[in-house]
Amino acid sequence: MRLEYFQMVDRIIQLDPEARIVRAESTVPDESPVFEGHFPGHPLLPGVLMIETMAQTGGWLVLATLRFSRMPFLAQVKEAKFRGFVTPGQKLEVGARLVQDGSGYAVVTGRIDQAGRKVAEAEIRYGVAPFPNETLRAQMLQMARRVAVPEAYLPEELASGG
Amino acid sequence: MIVPPRWNRGHGYMPSTFETVAGIIAETCDIPREKITPESHAINDLGIDSLDFLDVAFAIDKAFGIKMPLEQWTQEVNEGKVSSDEYFVLGGLCANIDKLVAAKVA
């Protein structure tokens, strides 16, 4: 995780659009300016960043399902629960399941586990729209490679080129 | 003679479809059920915004086991090919839902 750059997902470990699931792992950084404020003397990963982590993880599943033809934008978060503190240095496993693949929207349920214990969960809804420009699309494809989205789910023009 | 509204000529809808849709809208958008009629325009009359409509669409897709082609409908309306009444007046919306349900069963 690089909190200041909103890079919440380190690596995809399983992505299966047919089974509608994704799993990823992320390690909370040991140090970050975020912890200076949240909280002094008691550093915790903010709940809003756990939501972002689940939203990004589910977002990769939506992107892969759509073969990067459109972009999911966060529209709604429901029933978010934070069940335990997440502290610097902890390794997280993030999972999401695609509940609904609608026209112009998508819904996932997400969860975060730390050492086998559920620390966060939420239902996340996205508005799904065409990429607003080529810059964003190119960046998302570059990020997809960074987090190891399987080549098979990248757009065909890229997957075939390796 | 009572002339049925344009959306109800030749392609009506099941009353139960309207009841389900009206119930979803009432609950999701916090609109009194009695204000919701088959003639209501979801946006112009009921004031449902795009985020609430996303909720409504999700609930309708789930309730009927369909995938409303919202992107296609929006495009048709934006291009002026179809009046927004066709998809956003609830009677018209319900007729289209029935068509999608029928297509699924067929």
Which residues of A form the catalytic set? 38
Give the domain CATH number at B19: 1.10.1200.10
Tell me the three state secondary structure of residue A140: helix
B65 at the A interface (CB within 8 A)?
A: no
- CATH code: domain of residue A50: 3.10.129.10
Token code pair at residue A71:
């972009």
Residue range B6-22, pLDDT digits in tens: 555 545 899 999 999 99
Q: Is residue B48 part of a domain?
A: yes
CB A22 within 8 A of CB A14: yes
Count of structural domains within chain B: 1
| pLDDT-above-70 percentage for chain B | 90
Instruction: Give the CB-side neighbour count of residue A94, counting CA atoms within 13 A.
Output: 30
Whether B49 and chain A come into contact, CB under 8 Å, resolves to no
Q: What is the pTM of this model?
A: 0.88
Q: Return the pLDDT at B11.
A: 54
Per-residue confidence (pLDDT) for residue A157, from 0 to 100: 67
B70:A103 CB<8 A: yes
B5 domain residue, yes or no: no
Q: Is B41 exposed, middle or buried (0-12, 13-18, 19+ CB in 10 A)?
A: middle
| DSSP classification of residue B89 | B
Q: How far is B99 from chain A (nearest CA, A)?
A: 16
What is the count of structural domains for chain A?
1
Question: What integer is the mean pLDDT of A145-152?
Answer: 95
Containing structural domain, residue B94: 12-105
CB contact under 8 A, B71 and A104: yes
* Half-sphere exposure in the Cβ direction for A38 (13 Å, CA): 14
